[in-house]
Chains A and B, each alone.
Chain A
């Protein structure tokens, strides 16, 4: 890492903290994939990594390259935009696919429709 030798200490500490925070958040999200018990619960787990986990790592990268090159380097924003716009789409598609499959199999634990089921009227 000889390229980092001339970096100011405060920047190095800041970059290290940002990258570590992002990695810890992502790890907790992925641990959720292992620990949570149900598919619909596990659907929430990856969003930890794709929201603030990724934001922290990207910020660290932007800060590092901007200081190292002596000019603003912000093209990491593109990755952030891409992930922020695509993650909800994939997770929504997956949720709907799972709901569809569960309903086809007659799984009782998922709601039969988005509308509340009306109680049949007493005769």
Chain B
């Protein structure tokens, strides 16, 4: 925002992390944490990673909920696949063409897909937007592609304009 506090969210997160590590809110650690948070914000401003512009806070919440539900569901599915018989499982690579181009949005999508059991981001072709995924349960390629476009890509395009 200003020169004094260039990255307010990052600085606040640093302060909270410092207080969690110390497990107090007494004045001493708060003072050290404030200095740390300010220094962290300035260091980040010097490094200039580019500021993500978040629009639509509601969309962020909706995406978070969808991701949590999907991770819970795929936890159960993958546990069943691992314990089940290996003959019925069919895994493989899957290609999807994305319209998403914002690098920060792509990074978030990569983290979501890799953190969820059952899907793993393998490679991305930045020129034409082809994404190479590995899917553990590749029964219906169409439905996987549709699921990723509808549930993740659309909200991410809304959040990162």
**Chains A and B touch each other in the complex, with CB atoms below 8 Å apart:** yes
Closest-CB distance, B18 to chain A (whole angstroms): 10
Expressed in whole angstroms, the Cα–Cα distance for A87 and B114 within the complex equals: 8
Query: Majority SS of interface residues in chain A?
Result: helix
B71 within 8 A of A: yes
Interface size class of B (residues with CB under 8 A): 35 or more
Given A41-B136, A73-B23, A75-B23, also A51-B125 (CB < 8 A)? no
Contact, CB under 8 Å: B110 / A92 = yes
Of A31, A40, A110, which contacts B82 at CB under 8 A? A31
In the complex, chain B residues 88-136 whose Cβ is within 8 Å of any chain A Cβ:
91, 93, 95, 110-111, 114-125, 128, 130-132, 134, 136
Beyond contacts A32-B82, A47-B115: 19 other A-B pairs, Cβ-Cβ < 8 A, are A28-B79, A31-B83, A38-B91, A41-B91, A44-B120, A44-B136, A45-B82, A45-B117, A47-B78, A48-B79, A51-B116, A51-B117, A78-B21, A84-B115, A87-B115, A88-B114, A95-B134, A114-B123, A115-B125
The chain B residues found within 8 Å of chain A, CB to CB, are 17, 20-21, 23, 71-72, 75, 78-79, 82-83, 86, 91, 93, 95, 110-111, 114-125, 128, 130-132, 134, 136
